[in-house]
Amino acid sequence: MIIHVVNPGESIYTIAQLYRVSPESIIEDNELESPNQITPGQTLVIIEGTRQHTVVQGQSLYSIARDYGVNVEDILEVNPQITSPMQIFPGQIITIPPRTRKLGTIQVNGYAFPNIDMEVLRKTLPYLTYLSIFSYEVRPDGSLKSIEDTPVIEAARNAGVAPIMVITNIDEETGGFSSDLAQTILTNQEVQNTLIENVMTTLREKNYYGLDIDFEFIYPENREDYNNFLRTISQRLSEEGYILSTAVAPKISADQQGLLYEAHDYPVHGDIVDHVIIMTYEWGYTFGPPLPVAPLNEVRKVIDYAVTEIPSQKIFLGIPNYGYDWTLPYTPGTAARTLTNTGAVDLANRVRASIEYDYQAQSPNFKYFDDNGVEHEVWFEDARSIRAKLGLAYLYDLGGVSYWTINRFFPQNWLVLNSLYDVEKVL
């Protein structure tokens, strides 16, 4: 795999010639709808695959390796018939391996809403270990607001992907996470018992593989109540053969202040649950100022702390599958527009903006003026930023990654993931 950053004046055809691949393969792999319109700064993932090279007079294994950007050792590994690098001859056919070696095996979770386009789901499932279906909203009496998840569960299982039930403390009237609702659940044993029974019934009836708990904005005074709830439900799930994961805020210290952070007790989650999904995104968010959504330098601070409290193989690194478009100058309280990653590139194309790259944050971005002369700033994810995040998972020996969300297909993400890792399946 090669990540090519488009330069001014380049075309798909000149890029294809540069890497000795067909233009059609670049267009198809990257799912380019307008291949004649590419933007400076845009990334293209080049999947070279295994190629055949016919040796010509004067070539050596060293010069061939240099021309293809691989090591002599890599060529020898896939050509066992070559017993000595000095013994090749004109007309001999040599297999050239891809430049990218896989880093190993990883587990991959993808959050999806039940209304996900089934074609998007079909294309995504081969790259997933778990499909977390968002979400069953908990009610104050311990009942659950039902969702139409049966088709998605069946599609997941048919593809060998483990479906995960998600419960949240989202208030069904306001549509937001509710601290009061969480407190009601976590401080009333009778309501908890009802909730657990409803969860277990749903897991059995819907043929789920496990449970993910995404309780957010819990009051700090309910921290130990939440820990005890996790201990109780974890034991019940384990007895019946289900796994448990939790989604937690991106903390950089145990005593980090703030309603989002204080009740998420990393050491307890790391001890109790099977996977801890760290929501390492939303530095740039809808009502905040223009910032990268998941700047790598900030994400690293979170993981630096997390691995001191949670076994690394239990940690799933959160990766955003979206970007934002802010209006400038930023006014507090105004909302940014959410974009898909492919939509951000299409926008840059349309407004003739060159895409820049922040190497500290490992995030692409650009500015433009709309038809009314108003300036905008856009931050999103591309192949480079995805590679950086997946590399972080390898560097810290994490158990996996988790995407929020997979409802929009981002082909470059899956090309990069597939080039770097084999995805573990548990079904």
Active-site positions read 216
Q: Structure tokens of 418?
A: 């597939």
Q: How far apart are CA 199 and CA 193, in angstroms?
A: 10
Strands 93-96 and 400-404: unpaired
Q: How far does the chain reach from its first CA to its final CA, in angstroms? A: 28
Contacts for 390 with CB less than 8 Å, ≥ 6 apart: 103, 401, 416, 417, 420, 421
Token pair 């306001």 is found at 174
Residue from 214, 212, 269, 271 nearest 244 by CA: 212
For 49, which DSSP code? Answer: -
Specify the 3-state DSSP secondary structure of 203: helix
Between CA 258 and CA 261, with CA 260 as vertex, the angle to 5 degrees is 70
Residue from 340, 273, 280 nearest 305 by CA: 280
Q: Structure tokens of 410?
A: 């981002």
Contacts for 121 with CB less than 8 Å, ≥ 6 apart: 112, 152, 155, 156, 406
Strands 421-423 and 275-278: unpaired
Total residues found in the chain within this entry: 427
Q: How many helices (H) and strands (E) does the chain have?
A: 14, 19
Beta bridge partners of 339: 323
The sign one gets for the Cα dihedral 242, 135, 167, 129 is positive
Burial class (CB in 10 A: 0-12, 13-18, 19+), 168: buried
Q: Structure tokens of 120?
A: 């998007």
Q: For the residues of 10-42, what is the DSSP string, one character each?
A: --HHHHHHHHT--HHHHHHHHT-S-TT---TT-
Contacts for 201 with CB less than 8 Å, ≥ 6 apart: none
